[in-house]
């Protein structure tokens, strides 16, 4: 199964309540209203990673009635739509944009921050690609373009390369291209040799992947990442902190170590956004900080990402760090080590000058 063409695997995805109920002990009447609001798609590769009901793979893939009972009110708390000068292009920061070029994915993640849009047939306005490219062309301040969605790798090779990557590469002020994707994790068969050969031409092109659990680092995922890395494409990971999936220092540390071993550099751990329909995945910020304390010093610094919260209203991403500075005196700070000792550090040289 795991070496079949990705198009066949995608076509065999579980998308209806009846198919889901045939495979798993879930009630049709609890699934139907959920997938009516937020579509389901579970391709057979990702489905094969489920070991038992409620496990970390299950929680990311199987619709949960809690999605409809959520008390979080906002479908778009980060004000992405208000910060879109043209549909599908979010321009929040001075020099970079997020360009939503697809509304389709190989898995509709139950925790998706764009669940208001993904998988919905009307999510992509006609002309999105052309209007987005025209805006980028007319805006010389943009030097970094992030293709996202949905998943850009759900587009055909030709459409992604000829209609999107090539025109963007032709714009002189666009220095950096990035693709944000879950494909190497959710349907690694999509990373074909033919695709990688064509992507190679667009350097500097960075690919950031969302892996959320060590069980996602399979032989197939490892091969997909190896192909990309062998083509000289730097890989990063943007993990989402999710209750019941990876909200534990032991699980998160193992994930970060395994990512580094497949040449994927952990970039961000995201605090879950306040998106309607995802409240059952939310952890406290304290738990996120505890995970960061359990990484720094305890394992390779190369696999310690930054812990980010994305502020409501479009305030942007801000990194949070555990409090390492315990006390600030006049010219000495008391700093906590990773193994909980306190060490004094001279922060100014006033003392020295007086001597």
Ligand X SMILES: *Cc1c(COP(=O)(O)O)cnc(C)c1O
Contacts of 341 (CB under 8 A, 6+ apart): none
Out of 10, 50, 101, 109, the only residue in the binding site for ligand SF4 (CB under 6 A) is: 109
Q: Is 90 in the site for ligand X (CB under 6 A)?
A: yes
Q: Is 92 in the site for ligand X (CB under 6 A)?
A: yes
Q: For residue 96, which of 160, 139, 127 has the smallest C-alpha distance?
A: 139
- Interaction mask 100-139, ligand X, x per CB under 6 A: ----------------------------------------
Q: Quick one: what does residue 228 bind among ligand SF4, ligand X, none, with the CB cut-off 5 to 8 Å set by partner type?
A: none
Q: Which is nearer to ligand X, 96 or 190 (CB)?
A: 96
CB of 107 to ligand SF4, least distance (A): 6
The count of residues in the chain is 355
Which residue bears the tokens 């999105």? 128
Q: Which two tokens stand for residue 51?
A: 């070991």
- Specify whether 105 is catalytic: yes
Q: Which two tokens stand for residue 260?
A: 């580094």
Q: To 5 degrees, how large is the angle CA 106–CA 235–CA 249?
A: 85
The radius of gyration computed from the CA coordinates of the chain, to the nearest angstrom, equals 22
Taking contact as CB under 6 A, which single stretch among the options 11-19, 143-151, 216-224, 227-235 is the one that binds ligand SF4? 143-151
Say how many C-beta atoms besides its own lie within 10 A of residue 204's C-beta.
12
- Specify whether 114 is catalytic: yes
- Interaction mask 256-295, ligand X, x per CB under 6 A: ----------------------------------------
CB of 341 to ligand SF4, least distance (A): 40
- Binding residues for ligand X restricted to 217-246, rule: CB under 6 A: none
d(CA 183, CA 197): 17
- Binding residues for ligand SF4 restricted to 87-106, rule: CB under 6 A: 105
**Structural contact between residues 242 and 271, judged by C-beta atoms closer than 8 angstroms:** no
- Specify whether 276 is catalytic: no
Q: Is 41 in the site for ligand X (CB under 6 A)?
A: no
Out of 32, 159, 317, 320, the only residue in the binding site for ligand X (CB under 6 A) is: 317
Binding residue positions for [4Fe-4S] cluster: 105, 109, 112
Say how many C-beta atoms besides its own lie within 10 A of residue 222's C-beta.
17
Residue tagged active-site, from 21, 70, 93, 206: 93
Q: Which two tokens stand for residue 148?
A: 């996202």
Strands 176-181, 205-209: pairing kind: parallel
**Structural contact between residues 254 and 204, judged by C-beta atoms closer than 8 angstroms:** no
Q: Is 108 in the site for ligand SF4 (CB under 6 A)?
A: yes
Residue tagged active-site, from 38, 59, 64, 109: 109
CB of 271 to ligand X, least distance (A): 13
Say how many C-beta atoms besides its own lie within 10 A of residue 140's C-beta.
11
- Specify whether 144 is catalytic: no
DSSP letter, residue 318: E
Out of 112, 124, 224, 228, the only residue in the binding site for ligand SF4 (CB under 6 A) is: 112
d(CA 117, CA 134): 23
User: CA dist 276 to 60, 71, 261, Å?
Assistant: 16, 7, 35
Contacts of 237 (CB under 8 A, 6+ apart): 208, 209, 210, 211, 259, 264, 265, 266, 267, 268, 305
- Specify whether 109 is catalytic: yes
Taking contact as CB under 6 A, which single stretch among the options 12-20, 87-95, 118-126, 274-282 is the one that binds ligand X? 87-95
- Specify whether 93 is catalytic: yes
Binding interface with ligand X (CB under 6 A) = 90, 92-93, 96, 98, 146, 317
Binding site for ligand SF4 (CB under 6 A): 105, 107-109, 112, 114, 118, 149-151, 182
Active site residues: 92-93, 96, 105, 109, 112, 114, 273, 310, 317
């Amino acid at each position: 199964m795991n070496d079949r063409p990705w198009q066949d695997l995608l076509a065999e995805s579980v998308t209806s309540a009846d198919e889901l109920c045939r495979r798993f002990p879930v009630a049709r009447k609890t699934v139907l209203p959920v997938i009516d609001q937020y579509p389901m798609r579970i391709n057979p590769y990702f489905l094969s990673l489920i070991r038992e009901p409620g496990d970390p793979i299950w929680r990311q893939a199987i619709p949960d009635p809690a999605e409809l009972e959520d008390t979080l009110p906002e479908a778009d708390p980060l004000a992405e739509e208000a910060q879109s000068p043209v549909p599908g292009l979010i321009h929040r920061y001075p020099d970079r944009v997020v360009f939503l070029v697809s509304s389709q994915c190989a898995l509709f993640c139950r925790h998706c921050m764009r669940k208001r849009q993904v998988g919905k047939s009307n999510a992509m306005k006609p002309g999105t690609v052309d209007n987005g490219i025209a805006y980028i062309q007319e805006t010389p301040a943009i030097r970094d373009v992030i293709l996202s969605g949905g998943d850009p790798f759900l587009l055909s090779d030709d459409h992604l390369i000829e209609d999107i990557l090539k025109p963007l590469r032709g714009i002189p002020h666009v220095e950096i291209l990035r693709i944000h994707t879950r494909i190497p994790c959710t349907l690694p068969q999509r990373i074909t040799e033919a695709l990688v050969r064509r992507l190679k031409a667009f350097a500097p092109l960075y690919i950031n992947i969302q892996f959320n659990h060590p069980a996602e680092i399979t032989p197939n995922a490892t091969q997909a990442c190896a192909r990309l890395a062998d083509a000289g494409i730097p890989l990063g990971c943007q993990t989402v902190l999710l209750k019941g999936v990876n909200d534990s220092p032991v699980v998160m540390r193992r994930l970060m170590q395994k990512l580094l071993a497949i040449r994927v550099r952990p970039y961000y751990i995201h605090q879950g956004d306040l998106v309607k329909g995802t409240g059952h995945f939310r952890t406290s910020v304290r738990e996120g900080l505890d995970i960061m304390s359990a990484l720094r010093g305890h394992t390779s610094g190369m696999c310690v990402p930054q812990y980010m919260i994305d502020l409501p209203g479009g305030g942007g991403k801000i990194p949070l760090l555990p409090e390492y500075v315990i006390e600030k005196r006049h010219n000495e700070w008391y700093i906590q080590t990773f193994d909980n000792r306190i060490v004094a550090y001279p922060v100014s040289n006033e003392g020295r000058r007086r001597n």
